[in-house]
Structure 1
Amino acid sequence: MKKKKIILTGGGTAGHVTPNLALIPKLKDLGYEVEYIGTKEGIEKNLVLGENIRYHEISSGKLRRYFDIKNFTDPIKVIKGIWQAKNIIKKIKPNVVFSKGGFVAVPVVIGAYLNKIPVIAHESDITPGLANKLSMPYCSKICVTFPESLKNLKGDKGVLTGTPIREELFKGKKSEAIKICEFKEDKPILLIIGGSLGSKVINDSIREILDELLLRYNIIHICGKGNLEKALVRKEGYKQFEYVKEELAHFMQGADLVISRAGANVIFELLALKKPNILIPLSKKSSRGDQILNAASFKKSGYSVVIEEEKLTGEKLKNEINLLYENKEKYTLNMNKSPIKNGVDNIINLIENISI
């Protein structure tokens, strides 16, 4: 029997890669030969190579909604990437291509279309990002995470699948988190996740009230590359990291409360793990507003407390943390009632049904 092949793509941020990684174990179990197309410098390269997946590099320019001088040169990179992807896909002859979005995905999706290979894309947020908007005409199916997203899709392309959650997140241990962080006192653990690039506004707000918080909580702070505060390295009960990988499962399982941005991947991980949380979505000044919509949906469902970035202060954050801890059972109960499940099986079934 001929072995099935699949090409995964997506990159630019960890959020465009980790859902792909969640699919890999199940795809391998089903006998798929899995390969990946990404960029030379993107975050996706190191993440994928760590999974022992064959990785192919292509050229790709960043897609922007705003004016930038690179808008005149990046389209040339995209066109070059399309032909590179087309040739790679022609050589591999995959049964299907799965795209998680990000600027690298556009050339790959078009390259697959030119080879008459079916493409399934996944959109995590309520409204599609620019890369997925450009890719949609070339896709056979588009998986979405929020029911609200279906109204943004024409015809019968949209499929409500949920988002893929990495299986290893369910295998973390609180005891390991305590050991890694060398916490000596038995206090509730507060985990802060600022996104793969970190968040200065969240980092500053936490550090402003750090001493007060440490009276009640042990704190794990994932603050982003270059954002470690040297003066706090040996602070008792406070452990900071630029980025974590293997440790994340232990930190997520060990956390009693989580403060996070509102990217769709992380908030659905929090929902799957039933972690009471405070979401601080990126403002419209620095994003297209997708995190604001994500956070609003979770607040409406009773899964999250939401603080607008413009209204964030240390004092407000401290009060909301304490209030959330006092009412954490209410949020956990709401999350336990959620009909939204891990999207891995739904997406795998779609891949199986559409493979040629």
Structure 2
Amino acid sequence: MTVLKKILLTGGGSTGHVAVNLALIPKLRNLNWEIGYIGSKNGIEHELINGIKDVKYFAISTGKLRRYISIENLKDPVKVIKGIRQSYKIIREYKPDVIFSKGGFVSVPVVLAAWMNKVPIIIHESDVTPGLANKISMPFASKICLTFKDTERLVPKEKGIFVGPIIRNDIKNGSKERAMEMCGFHDRRAVLLVMGGSLGSNFINQVVRDSVPRLMSKFQIIHICGKDNVESSFNVDGYKQFEYVDSELKHLLALADIVVSRAGSNSIFEFLYLNKPMLLVPLSGKASRGDQILNANSFQQLGYSRVMTEEKCNMGTFIEEVNFLYTNREPIIDKMKQAPKKDTLEDIINIINDFTRSR
């Protein structure tokens, strides 16, 4: 097989900062690209990417872009400088035609090193408002791919390009039967799927477990809790817990009638693509920059979801919202079916190709 071009992907810190790259890899591989990935040594990107066939993983030192006071903030500049040096060397030796960055704190040293090496940089932004890592990286980028149309006003006009959401091909081929086996479900009650993000949510986990006894008359419940958050003593027939689900998530989504989730952009667009009515409980402004709140409100305005803030979420209101969502799911599904759905992955590939050709 003749390798035509080389690309280095980067992004990490959460599944959302890796999912787009995971979707791109099969497409790039089919086009005979040589693919490398720069990530952290111990982040979730290492877990998800390292070991993928035909993808060479490079680990670098990274800091963390915190919005709170911590002694670790004093150490991070040293880690970032080390990461820039490591990335610079990797890029010089690998000689990529282009860098594709999904964001997250690991991407900043890579983008800076790519700019120093005069390699074109394409950034992808999933949320309505750009994340801190992407804000730092934007001045060095050649092009910024946007998921939300509204984000165009927040990025340099000559760099921003609206492409829409990227949906992994794998997520489209789930099997309800496989999910029934995974969960040990046997009856035909409706299925409620709860996801708290790749790291889980203690807040959502507690509200769900408090609500299980009252929800069980109507629902079987799949609860993705996050690493080390499975409550082994909480063993109820029709309630199945998972720490984390990767390739088999498509099966659980195929089985779900409705979904409760945080409001990360990649996840909610996949729910939209699959026509799964959703109750979104976004991260509060105290724990984030408020991006999930904007994502959730955007979907609610379009009629794709219900939204409940953490401040208003307790066992009683949660049960009420879940029941309301299920009862009124059909109008929501109708609106979801009318949403534009295109192959954004192909658009991204074309943008990548344009920059490699111009180079």
Alignment partners' CA distance in 1, 2:185 and 2:69: 48
Paired residues for 1:275-290 under 5 Å: 275-290=276-291
The CA deviation at 1:241 is 0.6
Alignment partners' CA distance in 1, 2:326 and 2:333: 11
Instruction: Give the aligned partner of residue 353 of structure 1.
Output: 354
Alignment partners' CA distance in 2, 1:342 and 1:328: 26
How many pairs are equivalent? 355
Instruction: Give the aligned partner of residue 302 of structure 2.
Output: 301
Q: Is 1:220 the equivalent of 2:225? A: no
Instruction: Give the aligned partner of residue 47 of structure 1.
Output: 48
Cα 1:303/1:11, change in 2 over 3 Å: same
Instruction: Give the aligned partner of residue 316 of structure 1.
Output: 317
Paired residues for 1:80-91 under 5 Å: 80-91=82-93
Tell me the percent identity.
Answer: 52
Residue ranges of structure 2 left out of the alignment (5+ in a row): none
Alignment partners' CA distance in 2, 1:61 and 1:231: 37
Instruction: Give the aligned partner of residue 141 of structure 1.
Output: 143
Instruction: Give the aligned partner of residue 4 of structure 2.
Output: 3
Cα 1:46/1:2, change in 2 over 3 Å: closer
Alignment partners' CA distance in 2, 1:102 and 1:282: 17
SS in structure 1 of the partner of residue 100 of structure 2: strand
Q: Is 1:192 the equivalent of 2:201? A: no
Instruction: Give the aligned partner of residue 336 of structure 2.
Output: 335
Question: Which amino acid is the alignment partner of residue 265 of structure 2?
Answer: A
SS in structure 2 of the partner of residue 122 of structure 1: strand
Q: Is the 8 A contact 1:38 1:55 kept in 2?
A: yes
Instruction: Give the aligned partner of residue 167 of structure 1.
Output: 169
Alignment partners' CA distance in 1, 2:181 and 2:343: 29
Alignment partners' CA distance in 1, 2:180 and 2:297: 32
Pairwise CA RMSD of aligned residues?
1.2
Q: Is the 8 A contact 2:38 2:60 kept in 1?
A: yes
The CA deviation at 1:84 is 0.8
Q: Is the 8 A contact 1:162 1:342 kept in 2?
A: no
Question: Which amino acid is the alignment partner of residue 124 of structure 1?
Answer: S
Paired residues for 1:17-96 under 5 Å: 17-52=18-53, 53-96=55-98
Q: Is the 8 A contact 2:3 2:33 kept in 1?
A: no
SS in structure 1 of the partner of residue 233 of structure 2: helix
TM-score scaled by length of structure 1:
0.97
Q: Is the 8 A contact 1:258 1:278 kept in 2?
A: yes
SS in structure 1 of the partner of residue 114 of structure 2: helix
Instruction: Give the aligned partner of residue 116 of structure 1.
Output: 118
Q: Is the 8 A contact 1:272 1:341 kept in 2?
A: no
Question: Which amino acid is the alignment partner of residue 117 of structure 2?
Answer: N
Instruction: Give the aligned partner of residue 181 of structure 2.
Output: 179
Question: Which amino acid is the alignment partner of residue 182 of structure 1?
Answer: G
The CA deviation at 1:50 is 4.1
Alignment partners' CA distance in 1, 2:341 and 2:150: 13
The CA deviation at 1:320 is 1.1
Residue ranges of structure 1 left out of the alignment (5+ in a row): none
Q: Is the 8 A contact 1:272 1:342 kept in 2?
A: no
The CA deviation at 1:2 is 5.8
